[in-house]
Amino acid sequence: MQSTLPDRAMSAMEIFEFVREADCYPNISIAYRILFTMSVTVASAERSFSNLKLLKNYLRSTMSQDRLNGLATLCIEKKMLDEIDIDTIISDFASKNVRRNF
């Protein structure tokens, strides 16, 4: 198969498309389909559970379950949290708490 490929650098998807169009390497085609269907998100899910385990071990005795769940969610959804403008949330929270009398 290597002798039939073009003499340029190709991505895995380009090689798969070339093999599929050639229709003469069925085992390579199957191997690439398996490669493309392997879930990459499994690692991120395992990382999330690992972070949750670390959080629970560290904070179990000092914090309520609701707060622990909130921190775990923040840790798991870090990409979404990075996109949120925290300053507007803080100012909104501060403006609502001004009305409270202590």
Average confidence (pLDDT) over 79-93: 85
Backbone angles phi, psi at 5, to 5 degrees: -75, 150
**What spatial distance separates the first Cα and last Cα of the chain, rounded to whole Å?**
77
pLDDT at 91: 87
Does residue 102 surpass a pLDDT of 60?
no
Give residue 98's pLDDT.
Answer: 65
Q: How many CB atoms lie within 10 A of CB 85?
A: 8
The pLDDT value given to residue 39: 62
Residue-wise pLDDT for 33-83, tens only, equals: 887 776 666 666 677 777 777 777 766 666 677 777 887 888 888 888 888
Average pLDDT, the chain: 77
Q: What local confidence, expressed as pLDDT, does residue 42 receive? A: 62
* Mean pLDDT for the stretch of residues 11-22: 84
**Is the pTM above the cut of 0.75?**
no
52 with 75: CB under 8 angstroms?
A: yes
